[in-house]
Structure 1
């Protein structure tokens, strides 16, 4: 798809798209931490007795879970220049010349020498030592870039073809994004296993690792989602721990009262 693009154009577009992937991942983690409480804990559900409110809560909880699936699947759309998806970046960087150029960018970060402290001149012996140290660090950084990029590419292709992702996408296609009797995959003869409860977790975790690797070696900036996840969790906890339901238990009311509702 990008065979006619030169290396610089591929890298420039990969950088832009990887920035967007980071933004999308942050929003997905916001949803995830809310769902950890709403969907995967009884913090709210235990407050809601048998009632009409329980039905509304079930709808809300299912919708929250479904939007997480939709956003997760969007990260794994087919590679296309108009799609801010992991595989689009993978196709842009999965080229020996592109990887070589990105490795050179990583190496170049160690070319410059530190400024002398207090304006003092660095003697020749110290200067040569600093050059040797920087050269070694540059080579190590370049090697790490190649390893990191290769790992991101291999991991992305593995997730793209995984049964777990296929199950999530099949659920999305048939019951969330569209009302299909059969998904395209099923019409092609694939046997797709139903999505298991919590089946999105390994796909999400793998996605985050890949985006971290791409951002580090394509954009040249280290990133970790760990700290932002802590903030997301704190925000979700502060909201939902303050949310208290006081709902009449309809199972304890006379049937005549129930019939009026």
Structure 2
């Protein structure tokens, strides 16, 4: 076979392989609901890893970028040029990691839209609620006395079972409501102007070097507004609340992000307020 025939064959092979690829939406639709839940848990675990780093970095940036704890020690100097590069890098990596949590759903991607797309299904939500309800199910401990007579014990046992069943139904209904509300709120954040501007800034000035992003060209209205000071904090707070609710429903774990933010703020204070900079020139 000559070189031209080989090249043509390789080209058709690439086309054939590409044609076999299915979209993320079709892949999700083809998964059994229990596998969708499994993939959602895996993606959410990755989301948590990013969020923990981001939470810590944000606490550092609040001091390094938005206070004079370090900048007042640098002052007007040649060293200020290096300090500017240092602080810009911190700011940019925070925006990159924050945006990555809201990148569109993809197979094996650790993003909130990936988790939302996987669980936004009645069968998946029913599975989540069933697992949550089972935690309320009454199980009798044989070591625990229920009454003095057998008749008393049977009456109490049946009453506890009915109570447990009622709590289980309530928990299942509550889980369905909270899960659907979380899905709705996450999609609202995905479509929000704040996230749109932050992501566009990330794409235009950090991840790529371009005069106009694809979004700006497609919308045809010129450059989008740059994010306002504090947009990243507002977006991070909303992001952590969504992750906290998803953890409780999808993974069955509870992590208090408000407490974690306070711990990271304390840690950052202990480090950066103890740093002394001696500028040479």
Q: What TM-score, normalized by structure 1, do the two folds share? A: 0.90
Q: 1:215 aligns with which of 241, 247, 251?
A: 247
Aligned to 1:140: 170
Distance 1:119 1:140 in 2: 26
Q: CA deviation at 1:190?
A: 5.4
- Aligned counterparts of 2:182 and 2:67: Cα–Cα separation in 1: 32
Q: 1:125 to 1:190 in 2, by over 3 A?
A: farther
Matches within 5 A, 1:92-171: 92-116=118-142, 118=143, 120=145, 123-171=153-201
- Counterpart check, 1:202 vs 2:228: no
Could you list the structure 1 runs, at least 4 aligned residues long, displaced by more than 2 angstroms after superposition: 118-122
Distance in 1 between residues matched to 2:236 and 2:99, nearest whole Å: 10
Residues 99-130 of structure 1 deviation map (CA, whole Å, 9 limit, x = unaligned) = 111111111112242424x4546611211221
Deviation at 1:165, TM superposition (A): 0.7
Q: 1:62 — aligned with what?
A: 88
2: CA distance, partners of 1:247 / 1:66: 24
Match of 2:103 among 77, 80, 84: 77
**Does the alignment pair 1:226 with 2:252?**
no
Correspondences of 1:179-194 after superposition (within 5 Å) = 179-189=209-219, 191=221, 192-194=224-226
197-206 or 222-231: bigger deviation? 222-231
Uncovered stretches (5+) of structure 2, i.e. residues with no partner = 1-24, 148-152
The CA deviation string for residues 218-260 of structure 1, in whole angstroms up to 9 with x for no partner, is: 1112221122222212221111011012336x6xxxxxxxxxx
Gaps of at least 5 residues in structure 1 are 251-261
Whole-Å separation in 1 of the counterparts to 2:176 and 2:278 = 57
Whether contact under 8 Å (2:146, 2:156) holds in the other structure is no
* Cα distance in 1 for residues equivalent to 2:68 and 2:185: 34
Q: Partner of 1:8 in structure 2? A: 34
Which whole-Å CA distance do the structure 1 matches of 2:269 and 2:140 have between them?
45
Question: Is 1:48 the counterpart of 2:74 in the alignment?
Answer: yes
Corresponding residue to 2:117 among 88, 91, 96: 91
**Mean CA deviation greater in 163-172 or 106-115:** 106-115
